[in-house]
């Protein structure tokens, strides 16, 4: 009996280690736009000489690329995104503010297959862009985004911003095989972009 116990205990530890290493057990990887590496006021886009498709940053295995913002009536704009403190608290600390620009998050460097992405947002006006896995860009109110984009389920929550400010805040949840997420807006902030 003693010899069996000697082999069972180490086997349990090996099994536990294998289960922890499985992709389904991977810890979420998040970007919270806090220093380091994100310094308040850091700007991406036209003001710093970037063009659509340029790499803006890489952090936690997630690459961020700037892209042109698609307008409702057709055409595009390419202004800026920058690290900011939002005028309405929708998440702790700093966030990323958009002004007529898109940012594409590429999750291929996180080390696991991403099955879910979440983020918090603040929308104080204008409309938004959303594309997943290279899909056509949805242009309109984020809260009216299609339920499926790029083969991924999209769910957007929304609550009004407290008066006297007009706007809304909430979360975006993507479920499915997410390789890239492209998002942008006009008077728009995001934070806590998490891949799992």
Cα(9)–Cα(190) distance, integer angstroms: 47
Cis peptide before 47 (omega within 30 of 0): no
Cα separations (Å) of 2 from 5, 7, 13, 14?
5, 9, 18, 19
For each of the chain's 196 residues, which pLDDT tens digit applies? 555 555 554 444 443 443 444 444 679 999 999 999 999 999 999 999 999 999 999 999 999 999 999 999 999 999 999 999 999 999 999 999 999 999 999 999 999 999 999 999 999 999 999 999 999 999 999 999 999 999 999 999 999 999 999 999 999 999 999 999 999 999 999 999 999 9
Query: Tokens 């807006």 label which residue?
Result: 185
Instruction: Give the pTM.
Output: 0.87
Report the relative pairing of strands 95-99 and 168-175 from DSSP bridges.
unpaired
């Amino acid at each position: 009996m003693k010899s069996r116990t000697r082999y069972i205990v180490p086997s349990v530890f090996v099994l536990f280690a294998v289960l922890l290493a499985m992709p389904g057990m991977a810890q979420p990887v998040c970007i919270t736009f806090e220093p380091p590496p994100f310094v308040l006021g850091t700007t991406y886009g036209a003001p710093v000489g970037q063009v659509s498709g340029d790499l803006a940053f890489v952090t936690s295995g997630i690459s961020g690329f700037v892209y042109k913002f698609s307008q409702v009536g057709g055409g595009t704009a390419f202004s800026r995104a920058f690290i900011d403190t939002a005028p309405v608290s929708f998440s702790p600390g700093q966030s990323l503010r958009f002004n007529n620009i898109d940012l594409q998050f590429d999750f291929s460097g996180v080390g696991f297959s991403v099955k879910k992405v979440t983020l918090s947002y603040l929308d104080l006006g204008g409309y938004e862009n959303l594309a997943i896995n290279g899909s056509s860009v949805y242009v309109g109110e984020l809260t009216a985004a299609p339920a499926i984009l790029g083969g991924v389920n999209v769910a957007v929550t929304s609550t009004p911003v407290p008066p006297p400010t007009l706007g809304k805040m909430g979360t975006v949840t993507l479920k499915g095989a997410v390789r890239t997420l492209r998002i942008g807006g006009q008077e728009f902030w995001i934070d806590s972009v998490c891949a799992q």
